[in-house]
Structure 1
Amino acid sequence: MSEKARPVPEGVHTLTPHIVCAGAAEAIEFYKKAFGATEIMRMPGPDGKLMHASVRIGDSMLMLVDEMPQWGALGPKARNGTSVTIHVAAPNVDEVFARAVAAGATVKMPVADMFWGDRYGVVVDPFGHEWSIATHIRDMTPDEILAAGREAMQKGCPEA
């Protein structure tokens, strides 16, 4: 008799992104190069498309599948864009950002020091997913962030 299964398995957080990619196997290789992902598993279907795969980036899991239009599973490019940004907290945003761009991501927002206390930038991966990358550089209270945000917006930019 086995032990009772854990409702949230060890190593899995309560919230885990699960994305659809046109070319999930290629996406796994990109995430390895861009974000240092470690492949956990992949489950190909009879046609070779990935029915499920998972990688670990830092201490977090990312699940992904190939596009399967017959099941309504479409990636951002098939939908003409994404409404989701995956956020990566990194010890060195500039290093991770540069590695992602070198691996094939395009710059959506260059890295800059932001009013909320992070050094922050955004890239788009070759599969259409947006990734914000940040290093926290300054502790601020919620009131300080609101005041800095108002000041930054009056200047017409989100930077500090």
Structure 2
Amino acid sequence: MSEVKPIPDGYEGVTPYLICRNADAAIDFYKRAFGAEELYRVGEPGKVGHAEIKIGKAIIMLADEFPPMAMSPESIGGSPVSLYIYVEDVDGFTEKAIAEGLEVIKPVSDQFYGDRSGHFKDPFGHLWGFATHVEDISPEELGERAKAGHG
């Protein structure tokens, strides 16, 4: 009998858990817009109790809202949290996602900290940052750029 790992493979870092008003629709959107792979979903008909998707190497958990414990951004008036994911081609990735209904908050552009990135809101109220790293910058150079007003 093999020993159970206390931290499963693929879950070594922070695993976001998104609460959605309609998790079935959110999963379908993430598959179309972000190329997400659905790992599984469980629950009763019309209600997702728990689901997991993978975007790149990032695993994201989702469920329908279950008031008052788990409320969606739509129910609480927005989200203070943004998920930031690196992708190979941020322009192509976000162009496809925008065509599927992703709302642009800040268009993709080159940033002083070495990323080409943009910020977005999905139809379920969750905030996303997508980026492609385009320049390696030392902490010292980053500090200088920030002081020079490039932030």
TM-score when scaled to structure 1? 0.90
Write the mapping of 1:90-101 to structure 2, written as runs, cut at 5 A. 90-101=87-98
Instruction: Name the structure 2 match of 1:58.
Output: 56
Deviation at 1:103, TM superposition (A): 1.0
Instruction: Name the structure 1 match of 2:125.
Output: 128
Residue 112 of structure 2 corresponds to residue 115 of structure 1: yes
Contact 1:13 1:60 in 2 (8 A): no
Residue 44 of structure 2 corresponds to residue 49 of structure 1: no
Deviates most, 11-20 or 135-144: 11-20
Alpha-carbon separation, structure 1, partners of 2:149 and 2:109: 13
- Equivalenced residues, count: 151
Cα distance per residue 1:100-150 (max 9 Å; x no partner): 111111000000100101001011000000100000111101111111122
Deviation at 1:79, TM superposition (A): 1.1
Letter in 2 for 1:129: H
Structure 2: gaps of 5 or more residues: none
Instruction: Name the structure 1 match of 2:3.
Output: 4
Structure 1: gaps of 5 or more residues: none
CA RMSD of aligned residues (A): 1.2
Letter in 2 for 1:17: P
